[in-house]
Structure 1
Amino acid sequence: MNPYLALPSAVALFVALAYALDACLCLGFGKLFRKLGASIRSLPASFTAVATACMFAPLASLYLTSIACGIQSEFLSFLLSWLRIDVRVLTVFLLAPLPPIAALIVFIEVGKRLGILDTAKLRELVGSESLASAKGLRLIGVGYVAGASINALVAIGEEIGWRAYLTPALINYIGLAGAIIAVGIIWGLWHMPIVVALKPLIERELPWATPKLIALNYVASCIALSYPLYLLLATTHSVLPPAAFHGTMNALWRLPQFVIRATESRRRDMARIAIASASSLGSAIAITQAIAVIATHI
C-alpha cells in the first residue's frame, strides 16, 4: 500500500466518501421507492441496481481517495494485487460460502427452539419448516451458487474497500483487534442510509425492527463478521474468498428477517434473537478458522 493512502487524512477521506456516495444513492432511491408504494417483499429491479451500486461505493471511494492523494496511477496495480488467484485461493474461495450457510442453519434451528421464528412464514418462504429438507437444501444450493458467482463479483467492491484497504490501514495505528472493531462499526453504520430511506416500509413489514435495533444489529454483526472476512483475506492474500463469504451472506440472510416473530415482550424477544445470532456467528467464525487451517496446508 502506498504510504500516502495509509495517512490518517486519506483514511478519513475514504470513509467520508464511502458514506457520502452510499447516502446519495440510498436516499435518492428512497424517495422513488415511497412514490412507487411497493411492498418490501417485491422490491423492484431498481432497488437491486441501487444496492449493487452501493456495494461498489467503497471501491469508488478508494479510487477518488487515490486521486486526491495524487497516486491514481497506482490504483489499478493495487486492485489487481488483491484479485490474485492460485490453488489456495480457489480452494478457500469454494469453501468460503460454507460458514454463512452453517450460520443460517444454526440461527434457524436455535431460533425455532427459542420460539422467535414464525414457522408458518418459514414454510411459506422455504417450502419446509427446516433447512435440512429437500426444499431447504435446494435453497441453500441456490445461495451457494449465487454467493460464489454474481454476488461474489458484486461484493468485491466492498471487500477491496473495507478489507484490503481500510483494515490494513487501521492496523498500522490501532492494531488488529482495534482495526476489526473500528471497521465493523464503520461498515455497520454505512448500511443505515438504506434503512432510513425505507423506514416506513420496514416499520410496516417488519414491526419488530426499530431503527435503533437495526443499527445495533448491523454494528454487532459487522464487527463479528469483520474477523472471519479478514482472516480469509490474510490467509489467501486475495479478496476473492471473503467476497464469496460476503456474497453468500447477501444471498441467504434476508430469510431470517421475514420469519422472526415479535411478541408483546420485546426485551425477551431481543435477548433470544441475540442468543440465536451469537450462536450463528460463533459457528461461522469457527468454520472459517478451520478453513484457514486447511489453507495453510495447501
Structure 2
Amino acid sequence: MMTGIPPITPMMPGLGIVPPPIPPDMPVVKEIIHCKSCTLFPPNPNLPPPATRERPPGCKTVFVGGLPENGTEQIIVEVFEQCGEIIAIRKSKKNFCHIRFAEEYMVDKALYLSGYRIRLGSSTDKKDTGRLHVDFAQARDDLYEWECKQRMLAREERHRRRMEEERLRPPSPPPVVHYSDHECSIVAEKLKDDSKFSEAVQTLLTWIERGEVNRRSANNFYSMIQSANSHVRRLVNEKAAHEKDMEEAKEKFKQALSGILIQFEQIVAVYHSASKQKAWDHFTKAQRKNISVWCKQAEVSNFLLW
C-alpha cells in the first residue's frame, strides 16, 4: 500500500540544509534539524512564509534575529555553517547578528531556516530558546564586490565587442607605393589593360594627391593621364551596350507579361462561362464552390499583375 511522498528532510545526505526544488502545488514539509549543541524545530506549516525585504544586489549577508539570549557565536556557526562558508559574523549584544557568506547562493540556504524555533541542548529556559528570523541585509562590502564584478563584466563585454568588430572589419587596402620611374612604367602598362585599369588609375590619383608631380615627372604623369583618357570612349560604349541590353530585357519582359495576362483573361472567361446557368446547373454543389473560388483567385492574381 502506498503511503504517499515522504517528507523532505533537510539533513538528508547530499541535500545539505536546503531541499531540492519542489513543485509549486506540493507543500514544503520542514523537519526537525538536530545540531551538536542545539535543535531546530520547524515552523507551523499552516502559517504564511516569513516576510523578507527586497534583495540587495550582490547580497551575501543575512540578518539573523530571534537568537536565544544564551546563544554564542559558536552556536551560530554550528547552525549556519551548513549553508556554506562563513566569512564573518557580527554579533550584537542583543538577540541578533549579521552573517556574511562566501557566495550569494548560500544566502538562499540561510533563508530556509527563517521561522525555525531554536533550543539550546535540552534546556527549557526561556533564555535558551528563540525563533529565528533570517532576512537579506544591506552590506557595503557586498555592494562593492557586486559593483566591481559588474565593471569587470562590462569590460569583458566591451573587449568582446571590440574583438568582434575587428574580426568583421574588412582588411585595409595595401599601401600605395611612392612614385618612381620603375613604378611609373608598371602603372603605365596597367593603364592599358582593361582588367587592371581601376587599380592603376587609383595609384595615379594617389600620386597626384600626394604631390608627386614635379617638373621632372610632369611628362610621365601627362602620359598616364592621356592613357586614362583613352578609356573614356570604351566606358561610354560599354554604358551604351548595357543600356541597349536593358531596353531589350524590358521589351522581352513586356511581351512575356502580355502573354501571361492574355492567358489569365482566357482562364477567367472560362470561369465566367461555366458560371452561366446553361452550364452551372449541371455541376454539383461542391464543384460550383470550387469554380467560384478559382474564379476569385484568378481575378485577384490578374489584378496584381496589372
TM bin (shorter chain): under 0.3
- Structure richer in helix, relative to its length: 1
* Higher RCO (C-alpha under 8 Å, 6+ residues apart): 1
Normalising by structure 1, we get a TM-score of 0.18
Normalising by structure 2, we get a TM-score of 0.18
- Structure richer in strand, relative to its length: 2
